[in-house]
Amino acid sequence: MENIQHIKVNIEGMTCAACSASVDRALRRLDGVAEVNVNLATNSATVICTQEVSPQTIVETVNKTGFHGSLAQEDEINVAMSHNISPRRLAIALFCGAIVMYIGMSHMLPVRLPLPSIIDDRVNPLNFALIQLILTIPVIICGRNFFVNGAKNIVKLHPNMDSLVAIGTTTALLYSLYHTFQVAVGNTHSAHSLYYESAAVVVALVLLGKFLEERSKNSAKKAISSLVSMIPNTALIIRNGEEMEIPAKKVRINDTVVVKPGTRIPVDGVVLSGEASVDESMLTGESLPVFKALESPVSGGTICKDGMLKIRATGVGSNTAISQVLRLVTEAQERKAPAARLADKISGIFVPAVVSIAVITSLLWALAGKDVSFVLNNFVAVLVVACPCALGLATPIAVIAGSGRGAGLGILFRGGDIIESAAKVNTVVFDKTGTITYGKLQVAHIFPAPGYSEESLLQNCAAAEYGSEHPIAVAVLKYCEENRIQFTPAESTKAIAGRGIAASCQNKQVIAGTMDLMTMENIQIPADIPQVPQGCTAIYLAADGVFQGMIALSDTIRPDAKIAIARLNSMGIETVMITGDNYGAANLIAKEAGISQVRAQVLPGDKSKAVEEYKKQGRHVAMVGDGINDAPALASADVGIALSSGTDVAAESSGVILMREDLTAVVDALLLSRKTMRIIKENLFWAFIYNIIGIPIAAGILVLFGGPAFSPVFAGAAMAFSSVSVVSNSLRLTRFRPEK
């Protein structure tokens, strides 16, 4: 529609999903706004709106939410890293929090923890209180950001977990300060009514969660930055008969671009002259260079390995293949909504409800004639017992335990949202090259011509290929090394772009390469030479004009692939293979691996579309890949799973990274995710039950039936017990063992 425009804004200051949510809500309230996508990975927002909405209005709305917005340039990608929480701040908070917990819990355990007499609550109760206060202050300072954010969200009537923690820890802190004062004026019994450890430990753990979230966000930015770096900044063109170097973004359609050996092609185009092998692995995932000659299409971002090309530009700037991959990745990230955290969802009701209960309780007891001490005790008891420690720890502790156990098994999760998504997976899509297979050619078959031996064929081929970094040469030379086949390197070699190599070896003229090369050199190939086996790549060799034989190479399936796929099938999870390779090779590999569904000859953009198709069918999809070509599909999937041996872009576009070279890690990741989510649900259940039972008791319901009042001391103990229960339950994940 002509009346529709896309406005992109860079945003500074967003640190969490709550921040992006507040920006999202503010922008959606504007008249004329149809759609809003706030992207934490790039610190930006894309707004689809009518022409009546001015860009400046968008920027001003962002600024009113408390962040700083600025209009982004066309096609600009914001990859600036955020460092709001330093490792030093985190270390201070964790160190001080741990000491406060030790001191504060020393007298609460069945067996007292040893303390120096100078801070022992029985000998020096004032020092006991003051040392906890002194150590809590640095923790509060280190975690000041989410106190501020929590307060802001309360003011905006959108309280979140920051708000819950801020209220709970502030209440515990203020109550502790009051009793510290009581100790100072001589009431030593108040030394047992301190809750500094609750405030300090909760703040330290929340700070740890924020730190991990920030690191995950920066990793996502690195993925985009890696893609951006593949787009050449300059281009060598011919205008008015002269070569000149200009910025790549200034290249125009139909310009003649010169590409020299070893350089990246700056635009999409068609070859006008020259021949060369082009490395397209960053787009296709296939290791073999592709021969380009007259009228061959070439893609921006690919590398010209040998030879020089002159191409006619057909796609420039944002219309190149690599730019489209970048756009697919960023768009997929924008569409990917944050995982629904139950605690955050209910916080908007929970916080005002608890505060209301505390206030109403106080008023009712005051009207009933109770003294100020009783009223205050009940007010504090309600707030302390309802402190969302257990609720706040339910998810992050389980995530830390689950992800920690995963790391021990060579499985890296990028966050709790990834674990939640992985637990729902019912379809796993695999890339072929480098994932199901090793992604490296190996000698599979040797077919010498009559009168020649396998050894002589390999000797001549290795001699000619010696020194080459071509995947075929590497495979042949490795085979000779492993089988101790001796050869003398060629005296001279000449690469024949896209077809093979010619060499002078011990007074023999050897050529090795494609069938086309044999035809060009008028080499007669005997009729009894077998056909190239399905799924193999062949190299033909001749010496002094006489055909000596053929060597077939193939990519080999990983031995763990069969085991992993069999386990997935037994779990009721459907397995699919998507590859840019031909149907013959793809079907051969799929049959061997046990995969029933195959999509072959698929382009990078189509991989992403295929994943989207499965998602539209109601499936929860995990994509397993290793190459740049897999990046859009990895980002589009509900869960992207990358092999550490793959490219950085693939890894950083994924939610799960497999550090061990074993595809059974995919199965382990899904099983661990399912168990972690079960633990989280159990934690949340008990946290809610605790509050449902604890709040009425703290409000004084037992008093109505002649029972005792619920002192803040017992409220604090109950709060600590709930937290310990949640943590203990979460630690069960550390004993997770993969199924054999």
Supply the residues annotated as catalytic: 431
In 3D, which of 465, 464, 443 has the Cα closest to residue 543?
A: 464
State which amino acid sits at residue 683. N
Q: Hunting for tokens 């819990």 — which residue is that?
A: 105
Rounded-to-integer distance, Cα 339 and Cα 517, Å: 56
Give backbone dihedrals phi and psi of 120, rounded to 5 degrees, phi first: -75, 130
Q: What is the largest CA-CA distance in the chain?
A: 114
Under DSSP, the state recorded for 581 is: S
Give yes or no for a contact between 78 and 13, defined as CB atoms under 8 angstroms apart: no
Evaluate whether 260 touches 236 at the Cβ level (below 8 Å).
yes
3-state SS, 255-283, equals CEEEECCCCECCCEEEEEECCEEEECHHH
Closest CA relative to residue 348, chosen from 725, 698, 712, 22: 22
Find out whether 443 and 551 touch, Cβ atoms under 8 Å.
yes
- Spatial separation of the C-alpha atoms in residues 398 and 391, rounded to whole Å: 12
Dihedral angle sign, alpha carbons of residues 58, 64, 70, 72 = negative
CA 486/CA 246 separation, integer angstroms: 50
Buried b (16+ CB within 10 A) or exposed e, 589-614: bbeebebeebbbebebbbbbebbbeb
Please choose, from the candidates 471, 419, 410, 487, the residue with its C-alpha nearest in 3D space to the C-alpha of residue 665. 410
- Cα Rg of the chain (Å, integer): 33
| 394, 729 Cβ separation under 8 angstroms | no
Q: How far apart are the first and last CA of the chain?
A: 56
Cα–Cα distance for residue pair 596/190, rounded to 1 Å: 70
Tell me if 6 sits within 8 A of 46, measured CB to CB: yes
Whats the size of the chain, residue-wise?
A: 740
Q: Are 431 and 599 in contact (CB under 8 A)?
A: no
DSSP assigned state of 191: G
Closest CA to 684 of 197, 413, 346: 346
In whole angstroms, give the CA distance from residue 117 to residue 108.
17
